Amino acid sequence: MPATPSEPTAVFFAHMSCQPSPASGSAPPALKRELGLRDLTLFAVACITSARWIPIAAHAGPGSITLWILAAVLFMAPLTIAVAALVAKYPAAGGLYLWTREDFGPWPGFLCFWAYWVGIAFLFPSAALLYVRAGFSVFGQGFALLGDHRFYLLAATLAIIWIALGSNLMGMKVGKWIENLGGLATWAIALLLVVVASLVWARRGAATPMHMLPKWSWGTVNFWAAIAYAMSGMEGPGMMAGEIREPKRTMRRAGWIASAIATAFYLSATISFLVVLSPAEITEVNGFGEVGNRAGLLLHAPWLAPLLALLVVASGLGLIGGLGTATSRMPFVAGVDHLLPTAFGRVHPRWGTPYVSILALGVASTSLLIVYQLGDSVRVAYDELVSMMVIAGFLPYLYVFASAWKVGKRLSAMSGAAITGLALVCSAVPPAEAVHAWSFEAKLAAGTLGMVATAWLIYRRGGIRDRGPRPQEVRRPELGRGD
């Protein structure tokens, strides 16, 4: 039986669970527990599922179906088990940062947080751009051309990012409806695509023979890592543990429901795409529009493409709002630990949210989006930098599964860590588009080292900052042999 956590640890969890600190006698920064089973399930669905992966998977062919199944069994399920166990062990805000810091120390915890946070900041602009391009097609062909106009594209993308993050700035009582909308839109996309594909198949058969054995080539193995990355995201709701009602029970149930929905979404949507079009006819950027237009012609339903585009935009809002809100909880706890400026550890007095952390993510994503629009040469450099973040994006999962091993979920830890390691290897393989393999590898190594070096400099600066006595400071819990 585990030993009772030390008093400082108990004080910390009281602090992060929105209870007054018994040591200080005053109410510390408080996050409100607003998420029940329904809201957390939809929040998790919004974090895990991303419509942008469907055209990419369909373009790769029916072998993606097998890869989806393998990723769900060997990666998503172990990640769900690991996150549920860690939320039960550490029922407070902070997620990846908190789990890693408690199990392996402050520096690994900060590195884990920094890699994940920077990766999200870089990926938001590119993801939002894809959703905006789909959104312009809602208003017809004339407005769809605005997706190629830099000013309108930038303005609409900024609107999506700040609507998603801004609603969560006002508290989960308001912000959760954005994630709920995104989760419901995901269900609607899957249902609509299944109905459309069934009607198309009944009328003329499938456009693609369903040979589901993945095709092996060094030029496409990089795509395998993308499939694993698409199945990640369960750590997002885990970061919200300080705002979940009955976190141990709710996280476990919501995690399994959301995992089943996400798996069904990716499988059904990919198969539906391949029924309507062949892989060669599907582009990674405009796949939903192409499928909607072709199915609309076959079924005499011109409204189909705009409806799909509207649902894709709604799901994108949920994804950005969910991951952005969850990710902001890590710098919040790092601010409480004084590893970042103390402003990051503040909670808004009215809304009860870590508003500085949310604003910081929004400002970082906005700045990167503007840089992306400065010119073609800058855009190419930005795309290369995003590619270099792939390995850093997978690094935190090694710590998650190592923590799962320590909490006793060893089969899940072995499976998840093995897939994470394989994904890291696949990420390091140059894609077919890479002209010079050595240049790709050099940039990848430089980007990863730069990420670690930046994290170390910030961590060291926080370490030498005058911290003073803090009753909520965390020490590693005393654990029994059974843990």
Q: How far, in Å, CA of 387 to CA of 447, rounded?
A: 9
More confidently predicted of 10 and 98: 98
- 61-65, 227-231, 379-383, 458-462 — most confident range: 61-65
The pLDDT > 90 percentage for the chain reads 27
The pLDDT of residue 142: 62
CB contact at 8 A, 196 and 295:
yes
CB contact at 8 A, 392 and 448:
yes
Mean pLDDT for all residues in the chain: 80
So what CATH class is 34-464?
Answer: mainly alpha
Summarize the confidence of residues 410-432 as an average pLDDT. 85
Residue 478 has pLDDT above 60, yes or no: no
Look at residues 117, 183, 138, 212 and name the one whose alpha carbon lies nearest to residue 321: 183
For residue 244, the cross-strand partners are 35
The pLDDT of residue 435: 63
| pLDDT band, residue 470 (cuts 50/70/90) | very low
More confidently predicted of 382 and 413: 413
Distances (CA, A) of 310 to 43, 173, 270, 317, 467: 19, 24, 19, 11, 49
The pLDDT of residue 376: 54
Q: What is the value of pTM for the model shown?
A: 0.81
Give the residue carrying structure tokens 């997002």: 236
- The tens digit of pLDDT for each residue in 283-320 reads 877 788 889 889 999 999 988 888 888 898 888 888 88
The pLDDT of residue 15: 41
The pLDDT of residue 411: 95
The pLDDT of residue 171: 74
Q: How far, in Å, CA of 201 to CA of 228, rounded?
A: 29
The pLDDT of residue 136: 74
| pLDDT band, residue 276 (cuts 50/70/90) | very high
Residue 413 has pLDDT above 60, yes or no: yes
Chain centroid to CA 436 = 30
Domain residue extents for the chain: 34-464
Tokens of 194: 């299944």
Residue 99 has pLDDT above 90, yes or no: yes
The pLDDT of residue 22: 36
Q: How far, in Å, CA of 109 to CA of 103, rounded?
A: 9
CB contact at 8 A, 304 and 137:
no
Residue 323 has pLDDT above 90, yes or no: no
| pLDDT band, residue 176 (cuts 50/70/90) | confident
Q: How far, in Å, CA of 197 to CA of 272, rounded?
A: 5
Summarize the confidence of residues 437-444 as an average pLDDT. 73
CB contact at 8 A, 266 and 68:
yes
Q: How far, in Å, CA of 402 to CA of 410, rounded?
A: 9
The pLDDT of residue 124: 81
CB contact at 8 A, 239 and 95:
yes
- The tens digit of pLDDT for each residue in 148-160 reads 677 777 888 888 8
Give the N- to C-terminal CA distance of the chain in Å, as an integer: 8
| pLDDT band, residue 88 (cuts 50/70/90) | very high
Residue 473 has pLDDT above 70, yes or no: no
For residue 251, the cross-strand partners are none
The pLDDT of residue 263: 95
Q: How far, in Å, CA of 214 to CA of 210, rounded?
A: 11
- The tens digit of pLDDT for each residue in 24-51 reads 333 445 567 778 898 899 889 888 888 8
- The tens digit of pLDDT for each residue in 221-253 reads 667 778 888 898 899 889 888 888 888 899 999
CB contact at 8 A, 283 and 59:
yes
CB contact at 8 A, 337 and 344:
no
| pLDDT band, residue 474 (cuts 50/70/90) | very low
- The tens digit of pLDDT for each residue in 330-359 reads 888 888 888 888 888 888 888 878 888 889
Q: How far, in Å, CA of 3 to CA of 477, rounded?
A: 8
CB contact at 8 A, 99 and 251:
no
Q: What percent helix, strand, coil does the chain show, rounded to 5? A: 75, 0, 25
Q: How far, in Å, CA of 159 to CA of 94, rounded?
A: 27
Residue 277 has pLDDT above 90, yes or no: yes
The pLDDT of residue 446: 77
Q: How far, in Å, CA of 350 to CA of 139, rounded?
A: 38
Look at residues 111, 391, 386, 401 and name the one whose alpha carbon lies nearest to residue 225: 391
Residue 384 has pLDDT above 90, yes or no: no
The pLDDT of residue 6: 40
CB contact at 8 A, 196 and 299:
yes
